[in-house]
A and B are shown apart, each in its own frame.
Chain A
Amino acid sequence: DGGITQSPKYLFRKEGQNVTLSCEQNLNHDAMYWYRQDPGQGLRLIYYSQIVNDFQKGDIAEGYSVSREKKESFPLTVTSAQKNPTAFYLCASSLRTGHGETQYFGPGTRLLVL
């Protein structure tokens, strides 16, 4: 089955710790995205990648980093600089970026701070 997988489902972070969220897709999509979801605020774009070895900051990139070494994978690292990391993180992909492309979402990772 084609789709997007995210792991882990739940992740706990201690103060000062970096944690990495995994996102993998087997849809052969060029574009991948990371969103953060907070209650009552909809989804906000953290980073996106249009092609392998290239990525761009979204609206709330501070405290996060990404890499895109393979077409299928787009991991997100939440660094210690992100002071309020508790949220639901959603990864998405689309065939390409651009006008009207449909984004398909993974099941999400919930990050909690200990």
Chain B
Amino acid sequence: AQSVTQLGSHVSVSEGALVLLRCNYSSSVPPYLFWYVQYPNQGLQLLLKYTSAATLVKGINGFEAEFKKSETSFHLTKPSAHMSDAAEYFCAVTGHGSSNTGKLIFGQGTTLQVKP
């Protein structure tokens, strides 16, 4: 069974600083991995998605994530934080297999605070 762990429920950075949000997954089969962002009282918006085509995935708003199979990680980074990046971020996994229904397994979420 697949699972996702996001390390750190809250992360605080200064504007202009590096953003690093951690995600580790557990999967017995090659996974598909997603990062979504949620602004207050809104739905989720896809940031990026890993589908095994390339280990470094570039997404919207300057975010990227690197798939590391040996570490079972898919951490999200952005070189320079902007105030508008303040939101909640979710890592999710779905796997292969005959019983797979495309169900997304979500992590608990990480709230990113950006200080001026």
Contact = CB atoms under 8 A, between A and B. Distances in A.
A binds B: yes
Interface of A: 4, 6, 31, 40-45, 48, 50, 56, 58, 88, 90, 92, 94, 96-108, 110
Given A98-B102, A100-B51, 20 more contacts: A4-B43, A6-B43, A31-B102, A40-B9, A40-B108, A42-B108, A48-B101, A48-B103, A50-B101, A88-B41, A96-B102, A99-B96, A99-B102, A100-B32, A100-B49, A105-B44, A106-B43, A107-B42, A107-B43, A108-B43
Interface of chain B, main secondary structure: loop
Contacts of A99: 32, 94-96, 100, 102
B104 interface: yes
B45 interface: yes
Nearest to B4: A42
Interface string B70-84: 000000000000000
Contacts of B56: none
A50 B99 CA distance: 13
Nearest to A40: B108
A42 B101 contact: no
Contacts of A88: 41
B94 A100 contact: yes
Interface in B64-114: 90, 94-96, 100-104, 106-109
B34 interface: yes
Interface of B: 9, 32, 34, 36, 41-46, 49, 51, 90, 94-96, 100-104, 106-109
Q: Chain B CB within 10 Å — which of A4, A102, A108 has the most? A: A102
B103 A45 contact: yes
A98 B100 contact: yes
B107 A42 contact: yes
A110 B41 contact: yes
A98 B95 CA distance: 9
A45 to B, nearest CB: 6
A101 B46 CA distance: 12
